Structure 1
Amino acid sequence: MTDQHPLADRTVVVSGGSRGIGLAIGLGAARLGANVVLLAKTSEPHPKLPGTVHTAVAEVEAAGGKGLAVVGDVRNEEDVARAVDAAVERFGGVDVVVNNASAIATDSTENLSAKKFDLMMDVNVRGTFLLTKAALPHLRRSPHAHVLTLAPPLNLSAHWLGAHPSYTLSKYGMTLLSLGWASEYATSDIGFSCLWPQTYIATSAVTNLRAGDELVARSRSVDVMSDAAVAILTRTAAEVNGQCFVDADVLAAAGVTDLSPYGGGDDPMWDIFLDKS
């Protein structure tokens, strides 16, 4: 391992990795020499969304890493097991899990369909559980094990509890799993941590919202999350275990205080679950 490649030969499994933040984290790891396994449903081009899991792997390899595409649904236990087995067969183990796949619906309770509720719980909570559980036997054998979950710090203010209770439940469920695993596996030398963006991130999810162009102009690029994730994954498990990080704070601790290169303008849109002080 060299200073230029601090993640050399480590195998990173990312859920929902065909585009957006998941792909950006995969690319960030690839630039540091990682093997990147992307689990995603998009095997064919989507009419409204860029890229597939196969084009994402091509980007990973162009960035300097080794890539592997696994077409599957993080809600499906067999698909998740197949992704982990493929990572072990191709690269010899699993060192990092990135629980990125997520579904969002912020409808009011009376307007939220049961189908959307179930989708959020299944992708966000069940998917995080399934992928982490499947990888744990291999993570326990890695000297550099991390499970990074893209979920917010717990904020129990009335505002956020009342804003969209069902979505909040699903995202806080991801956070609670991470915090719980940090305690359950405290002696296993696995770093369980969460990462959340300080501001909106310019992804397709934001672009497709009403006033998407305006929101994108006030959003930072996916690279801010990628750089923060890599900063976490290159620290020791003990340093990060049980922590809920915000990307800007991670970068500040790494000496990056000017976030203007990531975009968002002078007044970026603060992300949900964070109180702007």
Structure 2
Amino acid sequence: MSSQQNALSDRTMIVSGGSRGIGLAIAIAAAKQGANVVVLAKTAEPHPRLQGTVHTAVADIEAVGGKAVAVVGDVRREEDVQRAADTAVERFGGIDICVNNASAIALEGTEELTAKKYDLMQDINCRGTFLLTRACLPYLRSSPNPHVLTISPPVNLNPRWLGAHPSYTLSKYGMSLLSLGWAAEYADAGIAANCLWPQTYIATSAVANMEDGTSLLSSSRSPEIMADAAVEIVSRPAKETSGHCYIDADVLAESGVSDLSRYGGGDAPQLDLFLD
């Protein structure tokens, strides 16, 4: 985690899928470091299986002393994403950090996966990442330290991951390839683009709703580990920090954090997908 107090003071972050889980944890951690936060999420009313709404997320951010605004919208819809970017500029004067967190997961094999689920993953994961970043780019160009951070894995071509759930793998690797592509495309503009992925399973609703969710939660770390790693990355100089697929535990180790026990997960936390 960033050693500088208020390292993100007066900077503005947009985070997609920020009503719960990793997205909310990143928003809260950034707010604690002084960032203004725009939370883009679909959930405006309580969901029977999912905790939190875009409005409770803003309340949680404000509870730690942060400034935040809720935008109810679908990251797949160009007009909703543009409205989030416009809100950030109108409310806070610009955009410094774009966090592509919204994601859908379905781990069925090819013959079991429905076309509807396939489309959902590609549209939220790849299209949503593209739309939000594109909407932020004109404002990132004007930021003194612009960052795009995408919650996606290193591109691991081990057949284990290519064959386990090809459609989900495609959608997540698509997010990573977009981000690595932006690192090259916008290098001259000084806009950093990176990926961040957890070393272990993270205790989120997505994990809880898996078939063996109860047992997985006990060996999962808390979302705060991803939040602390994210804040560390976007606090670094953009021109020196781009084109990487970071792992949360490695980022924290680089910043001097060696004891990860406070994040939970037990003595042998479950290694996450896409990591050998």
TM-score (ref. length: structure 2): 0.98
Percent of aligned pairs sharing the same letter: 68
Counterparts of residues 130-169 of structure 1 (less than 5 Å): 130-169=131-170
What letter matches 1:182 in structure 2?
A
Q: Secondary structure of 1:111's partner?
A: coil
Shift of 1:148: 0.2
Q: Secondary structure of 1:21's partner?
A: helix
Give distance in 2, aligned partners of 1:29 and 1:256: 18
What letter matches 1:165 in structure 2?
P
What letter matches 1:247 in structure 2?
D
Give distance in 2, aligned partners of 1:13 and 1:240: 19
Give distance in 1, aligned partners of 2:73 and 2:228: 26
CA-based RMSD of the aligned residues comes to 0.9
Shift of 1:238: 2.0
Give distance in 2, aligned partners of 1:104 and 1:48: 15
Residue 257 of structure 1: aligned partner: 258
Q: Secondary structure of 1:8's partner?
A: coil
Give distance in 2, aligned partners of 1:195 and 1:115: 27
Give distance in 2, aligned partners of 1:9 and 1:184: 27
Contact 2:186-2:192 at 8 Å conserved across structures = no
Residue 205 of structure 1: aligned partner: 206
Residue 219 of structure 2: aligned partner: 218
Is 233-242 or 27-36 further displaced after alignment?
233-242
Residue 59 of structure 1: aligned partner: 60
Please say if 1:231 is aligned against 2:206.
no
Residue 187 of structure 1: aligned partner: 188
Residue 85 of structure 1: aligned partner: 86
Structure 2 unaligned regions, length at least 5: none
Shift of 1:65: 1.2
Deviation string, structure 1 residues 40-59 (Cα, Å, up to 9, x no partner): 00000001111110010011
Please say if 1:270 is aligned against 2:260.
no
Residue 246 of structure 2: aligned partner: 245
What letter matches 2:168 in structure 1?
Y
Residue 6 of structure 1: aligned partner: 7
TM-score (ref. length: structure 1): 0.98
Give distance in 1, aligned partners of 2:122 and 2:258: 36
What letter matches 1:98 in structure 2?
V
Q: Secondary structure of 1:109's partner?
A: coil
Give distance in 2, aligned partners of 1:248 and 1:232: 12
Which one has more relative contact order, counting CA pairs under 8 Å at least 6 apart?
2
Q: Secondary structure of 2:99's partner?
A: strand
Give distance in 1, aligned partners of 2:49 and 2:166: 28
What letter matches 2:175 in structure 1?
M
Shift of 1:207: 1.0
Please say if 1:108 is aligned against 2:109.
yes
Q: Secondary structure of 2:182's partner?
A: helix
Shift of 1:3: 4.2
What letter matches 1:156 in structure 2?
L
Residue 27 of structure 1: aligned partner: 28
Q: Secondary structure of 2:111's partner?
A: helix
Deviation string, structure 1 residues 233-254 (Cα, Å, up to 9, x no partner): 1101122210110000000000
Residue 36 of structure 1: aligned partner: 37
Q: Secondary structure of 1:110's partner?
A: coil
What letter matches 1:71 in structure 2?
V
Corresponding residue pairs, total: 274
What letter matches 1:82 in structure 2?
R
What letter matches 1:131 in structure 2?
L
Structure 1 unaligned regions, length at least 5: none
Give distance in 1, aligned partners of 2:102 and 2:248: 18
Contact 2:126-2:175 at 8 Å conserved across structures = yes
Give distance in 1, aligned partners of 2:157 and 2:97: 29
Q: Secondary structure of 1:186's partner?
A: coil
Give distance in 2, aligned partners of 1:261 and 1:244: 24
Give distance in 2, aligned partners of 1:253 and 1:8: 22
Give distance in 1, aligned partners of 2:42 and 2:5: 32
